[in-house]
Amino acid sequence: MMLAFRLVFGLLLLCGLLSFAIYIATGQVVWRRRGIVIVKWTVIAALGFFAVLIVERLT
């Protein structure tokens, strides 16, 4: 479970960074927007995942 989460989390961050790199290379604003959305939802998913881990440890 943890390995799968780390893999997905890492790939999402990589996609976000690639989107920002494409934005820098092309100057197209759409790539910056995509990068921001990907990173935002990745962080939200990570916070949810760690919240579940904390709740499991408390019970």
For the stretch 5-50, pLDDT in tens is 888 888 999 999 999 999 999 999 999 999 999 999 999 988 988 9
Q: How far is CA 38 from CA 13, 53, 57, 59, in A?
A: 8, 23, 29, 32
Amino acid letter at 16? G
Global pTM reads: 0.80
In this prediction, residue 11 carries a pLDDT of: 92
Q: Give the span between the Cα atoms of 37 and 50, in whole angstroms.
A: 20
Contact yes or no for 3/18 (Cβ under 8 A): no
- Would you say residue 57 has pLDDT above 80? yes
- Would you say residue 52 has pLDDT above 90? no
